[in-house]
Amino acid sequence: MKLIKYLLIITFFIVASCDKNSILISGLKGVNDSFHEQYAPDKRVAIYTIKFENYDDKIIVEGETDSKEAYVKLLDSLKILKVDIINKIRVLPDSVVGNKMFAVAKNSVINIRSEPKHSAELGTQGLLGMPLKVLDKEGDFYRIQTPDRYISWVDKGGIELMNKGEFDTWNTSEKIIFTQNFGYVYSERSSNSGIVSDITLGGILKYLSEDASFYEVKYPDGRIGFVKKSEAVIYNSWLQKLNPTKENIEAIAKKMDGFPYLWGGTSSKGMDCSGFTKMVYLMNGLIIPRDASQQVNAGKIVDKNLTFEGLEKGDLLFFGTKATENKKQRVVHVGIWLGNDKMEFIHASGNVHLSSMDATQPHYDEFNKNRYLGSRRYLGVKDIQLLDLKEVLK
């Protein structure tokens, strides 16, 4: 309805005005904002940077989007107005990428940045074997989308580009998953042999064969190596046995106790607050949104009264600045409630550690208690933002 209203208003002013292009540029901003709001309200997980310009008495439409639906509907709306445009919109991925529209992480941890340069802010990370969509290329960097839909840039050295057939083959092949915090892939069936690479918690490689002590594995780029069987398991077997209970959430979270804090980190080499919660749930078979400000919108609301009553082990606690008449709520931190008599939660701040909401405890966290915003429950909740890895297998 909002879009139709904009189109009617624009049509009226075009008829009534001599300066049609100026009126169009002004009116189309409302139409464009409507599409942006519908298809890319969060630029971290969707792309829509289309804009209109008046040049040499012509209307130029340019920019980028990863939504073909948004592109088609925008053009349909412009046809209704019966105006000629110069179309310079890129629908990603396009010819810049070619047929290599997919990739798989080939390093133990890949750094994914906010811009296509090494000096840009670290936005998130990917783990060895992580499947990725490739949307764009600039220099030696590729704009990729991770399984949690996060969009950003990675340098070419961290990924193996694939076409659809190669990507499908990788995804359907049998794999192993590394279950220790840190380790190595060896060049032979011996821990005294050379090292192919390091590997971290959650890393995945293609399974080739096994003996009593080692899995023979293959990297996305074809390298062959060997992983200790005591440090990894067959991926499908691991996944089918997963039971994301409250106790297992706590066990995985405490396994990361002491991990260093790293802004943008989501691996055992370093993690930020939401990277920590993301890794805990990933190792329990769930892909959850990347950032705390996204995680707060998933799952089921609990503890509306902010009294810490009714919370259960595994619930996510969110912290930040409360909403006012002039400002929206701002979520800047997240932790995991442990549901014990010490009112403990575990979070990444400085490093991963336990804190308490009980003023009588030596590790009482008054700072975070004073900025507590509420909690969300993921366990046992159906939500399109919470992706069950078991469903991916089907």
> What residues act catalytically?
273, 333, 347
- Are 65 and 47 in contact by the 8 Å Cβ rule? The answer is yes
CB atoms within 10 A of CB 48: 21
115: exposed, middle or buried (Cβ count in 10 Å: 0-12, 13-18, 19+) = middle
Tell me the DSSP string of 202-214. Answer: T-EEEEEEE-SSE
Cis status of the peptide bond prior to 93, with omega within 30 of 0: yes
Separation of alpha carbons 124 and 140, rounded Å: 18
- Contact indicator for 10, 28 with CB cutoff of 8 Å: yes
> Alpha helices of the chain — where are they, by DSSP H?
2-16, 20-39, 68-80, 164-172, 235-241, 246-255, 273-282, 292-295, 366-370, 389-393
Pairing of strands 224-228, 214-218: antiparallel
Burial of residue 112, with CB atoms counted within 10 A of its CB: 0-12 exposed, 13-18 middle, 19 or more buried: buried
Structure tokens at 126: 């990917």
Q: Which helix (H) or strand (E) holds 124?
A: strand 122-127
